[in-house]
Structure 1
Amino acid sequence: MARFKVGVQLRPQHCEMAQLRAAWKEADALGVDTIWNWDHFYPLFGDPDGTHFECWTVLGAMAADTSHAKFGALVTCNTYRNPELLADMARTVDQISGGRAILGVGSGWFQRDYTEYGYEFGTAPERLRALRDSLPRIKARLAKLNPSGADVPIMVGGGGEKVTLRLVAEYADLWNTFGPPENFKHKNAVLTEWCEKIGRDPAQIDRTVMIGTDEVDSVERYLEAGATHIILGSDAPFDLKPLARLLEHARS
């Protein structure tokens, strides 16, 4: 099996902060390449009013608690924060970590977050246009900050073939979408086409995919589909035995 990068998403729902902190310390000690959370205000499944923690505050703690893995949000909702502010937050968290932060961003989709926190939900095309407008502003602000955040990698999440994947080709260092492998293979090919159209080397973009624990032992299907970086989703109580097994596959 080809070597690949390994990540884990520790979802900040239905848990205590102590559990999250213990889990990312354990993942870091295991030697994962990346650790992620997500950017929502309420659980996405299970009890809709269960415990939940805010994304970027959690990332600040993760930056201080870990030593080796890169980390970020999979992914930040673009319209929850001003683009310049988001860039400054990412740069600051990157400084806390000693240069390990990744700024993951997407257009947003979870309507309850918008409604409860007073954001304009709008339409999917409007949110995509907002992402298109925000990405150059984010990159410009990262470069302008003192100390600079120009080296903070950007991940764009999503699989829209007309807009999102073109934005990935233009701005991203990493890209994330979901399975099954046939879906990932198709989206990956479209992204490569966009890179060729705009004159960018497709190999410059790390191709990440989120998988479940039931896919750990069949991960080669994603590698054959073009994935270079496999991210395992994990929920409390954060049993990381499947993650350790995924790492074994990556190192075999």
Structure 2
Amino acid sequence: MPSFGIMTAPMQVGYDDVLRVWREADAIEEIEHAWLFDHLLPIGGDPDGSILEGWTLLSALAAQTQRLRLGLLVTSNRFRPPAMLAKMAATVDIVSGGRLDFGIGVGSRPDHPLARREYAAHGLPFHEVADAVGSFAEACTVIRRLWTETSPFDFHGNYLDLTGAFCNPKPLQSPHPPIVIGGRSAAVLRIAAEHADVWNIPGGDLEDVVRRSALLDRYCAEIGRDPASITRSIHLPVSYDEPGATREAIVEAVGAGFEHVVLGLPAPYPAKVAQWVADELITSVR
């Protein structure tokens, strides 16, 4: 049976609104997970509007929920040094009592102008695709080692150079929090085949989504990994006005083998929106 979650992009919305929705969802068993995204400036609506930083907000929400699994869909590897990110994630896993799903990807699409501007605005370098993908592969290796190795280690790669790297305390989950890799490019799918417990892709063009899933199967086979060991996850936008279209998209995605469904809630959030999601979208398709 598929699992269902919600995603509340923390832009053009206040903290109290996000907290209200997450607390409501935490009490509704049909909703099993909840997500934020990782941007530093809005990518929709007023480009100068408000946006909350994802990991800081996630830690606050982790402390004020009890049941939901939680994460970022997905963290940009371009924003934070991977060893620092591993430490942040371990902390959130501890704060949440072991409920973190660690979402990570290469970072913002270079053809998205509202996302591209985040880098200059925060003094961050924007590396081109080849370097960004290479750095992402090394980040996945380093983060996993930081979570599992019991002694400090050195790592000297093409992109990362760490001396005496160590993470203590470890995450509560053993051997580590599930790793959710988001992306659709062939290069990212190769990394997902090696590192992912869950692979996520935005919905929309289901035929393309299915082709990407088949490509992930092939890359798993090439390295001797069982493709079924990677849960397939899809993000689907929710329409409050046309729930039937959302229900149809859910049924199609589940039928195509996507067992992990994230329902993106547009802001502003209606009153009791989590219960509406459970009643109108989840229960009706099960």
Which residue number in structure 1 is paired with residue 217 of structure 2?
Answer: 192
1:166 correspondence with 2:185: no
Name the aligned partner's letter for residue 10 of structure 2.
P
Could you say if the C-alpha distance between residues 42 and 76 of structure 1 is closer, same or farther in structure 2, counting changes exceeding 3 Å? same
- The 2-side partners of 1:200 and 1:83 are apart by 25
In the alignment, is the contact (CA less than 8 A) between 2:144 and 2:176 conserved in 1? no
Matched residue count: 248
For residues 71-103 of structure 1, what are the alpha-carbon distances to aligned partners after superposition, in whole Å with 9 as ceiling and x for unaligned?
100000002111111011101100011100011
Name the aligned partner's letter for residue 107 of structure 1.
V
* Displacement after TM superposition at 1:60 (Å): 0.4
1:105-116 pair list within 5 angstroms: 105-109=104-108, 110-116=115-121
1:175 correspondence with 2:206: no
Provide runs of 4+ in structure 1 moved above 6 Å.
Answer: none
In the alignment, is the contact (CA less than 8 A) between 1:216 and 1:245 conserved in 2? no
1:118-129 pair list within 5 angstroms: 118-129=123-134
Which residue number in structure 2 is paired with residue 155 of structure 1?
Answer: 180
Which stretch of structure 1 is more off in the superposition, 210-219 or 64-73? 210-219
Which stretch of structure 1 is more off in the superposition, 141-150 or 222-231? 141-150
Higher share in helix: 1
**SS where residue 263 of structure 2 aligns?**
strand
**SS where residue 232 of structure 2 aligns?**
strand
- The 1-side partners of 2:89 and 2:48 are apart by 28
Query: What TM-score, normalized by structure 1, do the two folds share?
Result: 0.94
CA RMSD of aligned residues (A): 1.4
* Displacement after TM superposition at 1:243 (Å): 4.8
Which residue number in structure 1 is paired with residue 253 of structure 2?
Answer: 222
Quote the sequence identity (%).
34
- The 1-side partners of 2:139 and 2:15 are apart by 31
* Displacement after TM superposition at 1:237 (Å): 2.1
Which stretch of structure 1 is more off in the superposition, 137-146 or 54-63? 137-146
Which residue number in structure 1 is paired with residue 155 of structure 2?
Answer: none
Q: Name structure 1 gaps, 5 residues minimum.
A: none
- The 2-side partners of 1:123 and 1:146 are apart by 33
Q: Name structure 2 gaps, 5 residues minimum.
A: 109-114, 150-166, 240-244
Instruction: Return the index of the structure with the highest Cα Rg.
Output: 2
